[in-house]
Amino acid sequence: MSTKNSVAVVGSLNRDIILQITNLPLAGETIHTQKAVSYAFGGKGSNQAVSCARNGSQVAMIGCLGQDSHGDEFKQMLQKNEINHRFVKQLPNENTGQAYILLQSSGQNSIVVSAEANHLLTPQMVQDSESVIQEAQFVLAQFEVLLPAIVEAFSLARANQAKTVLNPGPVIEADFDYLYALTDIIIPNETESEKLTGITIKDNQTLSESAEFFHQKGIEVVIITLGKAGVYYSNRKRQDSGKIAAHVVKAIDTTAAGDTFIGALLSQLALDYQNLSEAIAYANFASSLAVQKLGAVDSIPTEKEVKSKIKKLNS
């Protein structure tokens, strides 16, 4: 595996419980699953770390697990994927985070998360992990850990000349201006962008207005994922923006699609962003492979698989 960027991921690790159903139940309705309950490794932080690693990056994970069987299994999974887990703490008398995924026949999902140990990551724990942040070129975070830990991570990243990348999901109620000022790249999906900006995305004009909202907060690069409609990007410094088409396939499970995209993107992205559109196109292919498999971590493709798919489509 060729090493590209070095990435430190500050984020969640969840044990996924997957319930396959025809459609979401109505209020007061009881339904049966289509298949037996299945289990997988997940959590936005974990998924993104694995995607970075499988696509060639050197990766360190910062987060919390419970001191339970799920936590033990997570450590083994991270090690198998060559992810530095020195600063993934297993906390006594705590449970590993869990996510209950309602997977519909259409491939769309609804997720309910019980944060558990994820919400016990503290700024002090992040400070203790500064050695891996010092080595990173990108520091990536999401909102499945608490805001003070993210702010601490991004502050340390800025002090060590690392690029900061925020995936603002799930959106929480907070004043983000201080965090925005510490953010170099923001990657929301369409729904998250609308919640943060107050701008309903309808067309290219409203996409541009949404990007400008983030630029005015001090963020240089805005990447808004739009599902089947592709990805919109805006680079303020280069005055470059545009939309890149998605590679549309029949989806089986969309659970880790966005996380796969982000990890694959950072594995390819140059530190000066000069190959931004190419990195997004690569990440779109990675995401299209992920949605064709069940589960989160289990569905994330390797660089070899992505490049093989691209080669076949171009031949």
Tell me which residues are annotated as active site.
259
Q: Is 315 annotated as a binding residue?
A: no
Q: Is 158 annotated as a binding residue?
A: no
Strand duo 14-21 + 109-114: pairing: unpaired
User: How many residues does the structure list for the chain?
Assistant: 315
> Cα angle vertex 308, ends 305, 313, to 5°?
130
Q: Is 245 annotated as a binding residue?
A: no
Q: Is 272 annotated as a binding residue?
A: no
Q: Is 258 annotated as a binding residue?
A: yes
Question: Measuring CA to CA, which residue among 247, 315, 250 is closest to residue 280?
Answer: 247
On the 0-12 / 13-18 / 19+ scale of CB atoms within 10 A, 194 is: middle
> Cα angle vertex 166, ends 278, 173, to 5°?
140
Q: Is 45 annotated as a binding residue?
A: yes
Q: Is 23 annotated as a binding residue?
A: no
User: Going along the chain, which residue ranges are E strands?
Assistant: 6-10, 14-21, 38-42, 58-66, 83-91, 97-104, 109-114, 138-142, 163-167, 185-186, 221-225, 231-235, 240-244
Host H or E run for residue 192: helix 190-197
Q: Is 71 annotated as a binding residue?
A: no
Q: Is 226 annotated as a binding residue?
A: yes
Q: Is 198 annotated as a binding residue?
A: no
Q: Is 160 annotated as a binding residue?
A: no
106: which 2 tokens? 């259409």
Q: Is 189 annotated as a binding residue?
A: yes
Q: Report how far residue 106's alpha carbon sits from residue 21's, in angstroms, rounded to the nearest whole number.
A: 10
Q: Report how far residue 35's alpha carbon sits from residue 307's, in angstroms, rounded to the nearest whole number.
A: 33
Q: Is 12 annotated as a binding residue?
A: no
The binding site comprises 14-16, 43-47, 144, 189, 225-230, 253, 255, 258-259, 284, 290, 293, 295, 299
The binding site for ATP comprises 189, 225-230, 258-259, 284
The binding site for substrate comprises 14-16, 43-47, 144, 259
